[in-house]
Amino acid sequence: MKVIFVASDNNRASGAFICMVNLVQELRNRNLDARVILPKDGDGTELLNKAEIPYRIIRSYSWDTPIDSGMYYLSKIPVKKFLNHFAIAEIKKYFLAEKPDIIHINTTYSYVAAVAAYSLGIPVVWHIREFFEEDQNNRMWNRDWGYSLMGRADAIITISQAIYDKYKKILPEEKIRIVHDGVREDRFYDPEKTIFDDVVVDRFFTPQKTVSDDVKLTISGAPKAKMVCVGGLYPGKGQSTLLEAIDAYVQKNDRNLILKLVGRGPEEKKLKEWVKEKNLEDIISFEGYSNEPEKYYKEADISFMTSRSEAFGLVTVEAMLSGALVIGANSAGTREIVEEGRTGLLYTPEDSQSLENAIEYALKNKDKSRAMAAAGRKAAMDRFVLRVNADKVLDVYKDILGLKENIQS
């Protein structure tokens, strides 16, 4: 079987791109001929080259524009539409040469390969990984035509129940399948980790770079709780609520914690200024973007998912697999992953008091927190790892191709 995946970006930091690369690599490990079309140059090719995944760059443009588009954005739409006609023609030539069995569109953003595939009668799988308007402030140029095009796909995959609930009202429900994204267990799974382990020596989170390796994180003899929040610093991602909750907690309790924010974005300057104003620079730090988030998860006692409308939440699963306790906003995809009180804690989105209460509970009930973290790790291993994701995607392929035989797994 040959499957050509069509990316909508070429960005090694994009969650959708990372999921695609991992899935393609897993399918290739199962002897499927899977390869990728990219819409432009970018650093995502580093991941493809490392995984030895064949790819071809065919310049094209996505069909999105910001919801609040001004004339600057709107004036570009006719030009992009015109140039996409050439992209569709080139993609058709590529498909005719490669003779794929399935075209797999990786996100909502890209449409040119679908047009090419429909014209050639090649089955299409359309992967929906985002709410679009609700979480990314984008809309299609022509929503009616766009949804009509997506609805022609042979199968539609949504990465969460929350995404399914939105699109079942828009697209043919009988075509939609929920397939949760999968995380690489070989990279994130840590079966031995125990949170709040006072005997574990931690240098990675130590604020003082000059202390010796055998010095624990302490304040007045008590070990510090180590916390992390991984994700882009964008409006709607909720880091401001987290900072407010931390500030409220330390005012009422103690400063025996360290929080690291891992990521970059337009909110960074404002958040840094707020931390400085509140005199929290000794316990809250900004780490910038990291292509090795596992280092932070594996050292953390608590990991936060603060987005108010997360389509799924790779970082949530990554943290759970690492053995950290996840405290997440009770919304969208996060509440599908985290079961309140059993595999983690949930709080009311954008409610700093609710988040402060969850933090206080976790820190004052460490035995229960350890049990939740362990249960979360097991749940993530059972439901949200790459092998499970690949199995379900293969089932979709077999269904639309009418295959009865097993594909090697």
- What phi and psi, each to the nearest 5 degrees, are found at residue 391? -55, -45
CATH of 185-383 given 3.40.50.1820, 3.40.50.2000, 3.40.50.300, 2.60.120.200:
3.40.50.2000
Look at residue 210 and tell me whether its pLDDT is greater than 50.
Answer: no
> Whats the size of the chain, residue-wise?
409
Token match 């300057």: residue? 269
> How many angstroms separate the CA atoms of 377 and 62, rounded?
37
The Cα–Cα gap between 195 and 324 comes to 6
Amino acid of residue 138 = N
Q: What is the full DSSP assignment across 277-307?
A: HTT-TTTEEEEE--S-THHHHHH-SEEEE--
Strands 345-347 and 325-329: parallel
pLDDT in tens, 10-54: 999 888 999 999 999 999 999 999 999 999 999 999 999 999 999
Q: How far is CA 355 from CA 154, 269, 272, 360, 395, in A?
A: 42, 23, 20, 9, 39
pLDDT at 69 over 90: no
pLDDT cut 90: percent of the chain above it? 77
* 3-state SS assignment for residue 7: coil
The CATH class given to the 2-182+386-401 domain equals alpha beta
Q: Tell me the angle at which helices 15-29 and 386-401 cross, rounded to the nearest 10 degrees.
A: 70
Nearest residue to 283 (alpha-carbon basis) of 234, 228, 321, 334:
228
What three-state secondary structure class fits 365?
A: coil
Residue 117's pLDDT is what?
98
Q: How far apart are CA 366 and CA 377, in angstroms?
A: 16
* pLDDT score recorded for residue 407: 45
- β pairing state of 64-66 and 138-140: antiparallel
What is the number of other CB atoms lying within 10 angstroms of the CB of residue 367?
A: 8
**Rounded to the nearest 5 degrees, what angle is found at the Cα of 308, between the Cα atoms of 129 and 17?**
25
Question: CA–CA distance from 194 to each of 47, 218, 365, 366 (Å)?
Answer: 31, 18, 14, 11
- Calculate mean pLDDT across residues 223-242: 91
Phi, psi torsion values for 76, nearest 5 degrees: -85, -20
Predicted pLDDT of residue 198: 63
So where are the chain's domains?
2-182+386-401, 185-383
pLDDT at 220: 42
CA gap 255, 257 in Å, rounded: 6
Q: pLDDT band at residue 138, thresholds of 50, 70 and 90?
A: confident
Fold equal for 2-182+386-401 and 185-383: yes
H-helix or E-strand containing 315? Answer: helix 314-322
Predicted confidence (pLDDT) at residue 204 exceeds the cutoff of 60:
no
Q: What 8-state DSSP symbol labels residue 408?
A: P
The answer to whether residue 403 scores a pLDDT higher than 90 is no
3-class DSSP assignment, residue 171: coil
Question: Which element (helix H / strand E) includes 389?
Answer: helix 386-401
What gap in Å lies between CA 181 and CA 389, rounded to an integer? 6
CA 291 to each of CA 4, 16, 287, 294, 298: distance values in angstroms, whole numbers, following the listed order = 26, 15, 12, 9, 14
Contact between 408 and 30 under an 8 Å Cβ cutoff? The reply is: yes
What token pair was written down for 61?
Answer: 């443009």
pLDDT of residue 31: 94
pLDDT of residue 15: 87
Kindly indicate the confidence band of residue 197, based on its pLDDT and cuts at 50, 70 and 90: confident
Q: What is the pLDDT of residue 76?
A: 84
The residue behind tokens 């790892």 is: 385
CA dist 152 and 150 (Å) reads: 5
State which H helix or E strand residue 284 sits in: strand 284-288
- Residue 165 tokens read as 């609930």
pLDDT, mean of residues 58-75: 82
Residue 195 has pLDDT above 80, yes or no: yes
Distances (CA, A) of 287 to 6, 198, 295, 401: 32, 24, 12, 46
